[in-house]
Amino acid sequence: MIRVIRGDRLRRILDFIRLGRPLFLVGGFLFHALGVVIALYTGARLNLPALFWGQVAITSIQLMTHYSNDYFDLAADRANQTPARWSGGSRILPAGLLPPRVALIAAIGLALLALAATLVLGLWLTAPLTIPLLLLALLLAWGYSAPPLRLHSRGVGELTTALLVPGLTPLVGFYLQAGLLELLPFLAVFPLCCFQFAMLLSINFPDAAGDAVTGKRTLVVRLGSEQAARLYVAILSAAYLSLPLLVWSGLPLPVALAAGLLAPAAAWQIWRVRRGAWANPAAWDSLAFWSIGLLMGTAALETAAFLWLLA
């Protein structure tokens, strides 16, 4: 009996961890690191307390988003008959493995932890935008799926996440180290924001039917999958076409060249989407995987390029 109870408790702990989708936390560390490295490139000295508490705030906000999304999107996830590996939430709540209130309690607790880290940073640093930047990130992350904003159902969820995750996260990392905002980090994150936007479109293709039934009006639902596929192609193309302009505006050429290294993979994705991969359930996992790979790979390449310039 004791062994059965312990086994059940372990299973619930593992389900709780899966509910938070820890694999996606890698992005928060990578984007924060990119901002920090850019700050060091511009002459800032590494501030380890700011690095630590900044990461605590970022990871708490990211985890909060994962738990709150699964709670507030439960109806859409239950209605989703075609969940793919990278879409449809964690599937823990629709499967009844944990009660929904567990996700809500976890989300609220993580929001409080993020607020505490924000307060620590606000007291530690004299930079005036520290608290406003982190509070903005917290508000956008909570409002993505939670009422009353429910940004993902107003046609702006993809744009919000693109600005928040690969946009605001590096800016926070840069600002906490440099104590000011400059043009360079904005230039560096523009292609990443494009990749994040395209990635969300690819992830929302499998969810469109269930989302439409429950009133979760993502951009794929509002535009229709065919129009969203055209937008996917346009956004990926814009990321690479923008690189010469970004270099002209001040992005170091080695960073732009690094960001362009995965262009063949992007061209292959564009070819697949134009041939109808967005409508083929057998291609959904692969389409999302390579969309995620373009985002994460380009962020890693940009970070490596700035580190090379530092050296």
Question: Do 298 and 195 meet the contact criterion of CB atoms below 8 Å apart?
Answer: yes
- Can you tell me the distance from the alpha carbon of 308 to that of 141, in angstroms, rounded to the nearest whole number? 33
At 180-219, the pLDDT tens digits run 999 999 999 999 999 999 999 998 888 777 777 777 788 8
Structure tokens, 121: 């940073």
Query: In this structure, which long-range contacts are made by residues 268-271, counting pairs with CB atoms below 8 Å and at least 24 apart in sequence?
Result: 269/236, 269/294, 270/233, 270/236, 270/237
Q: Quote the domain boundaries for residue 21.
A: 2-310
pLDDT tens, position by position, for the chain (311 residues)? Answer: 445 456 677 888 888 889 888 888 999 999 999 999 999 999 999 999 999 999 999 999 999 999 998 898 887 777 766 666 666 667 888 888 889 999 999 999 999 999 999 999 999 888 899 999 999 999 999 999 888 888 888 888 899 999 999 999 999 999 999 999 999 999 999 999 999 999 999 988 887 777 777 777 888 888 888 999 999 999 999 999 999 999 999 999 999 999 999 999 999 999 999 999 888 888 888 999 999 999 999 999 999 999 999 98
Structure tokens, 178: 């440099």
Question: Do 240 and 260 meet the contact criterion of CB atoms below 8 Å apart?
Answer: yes
Q: How many domains does the chain have?
A: 1
With H, G, I as helix, E, B as strand and everything else as coil, classify residue 135: helix
CATH number of the domain to which 195 belongs: 1.10.357.140
Residues in the chain: 311
Question: Do 253 and 306 meet the contact criterion of CB atoms below 8 Å apart?
Answer: no
Alpha helices (H) in 154-262, listed in sequence order = 157-163, 169-178, 183-204, 208-213, 219-223, 225-241, 243-249, 253-259
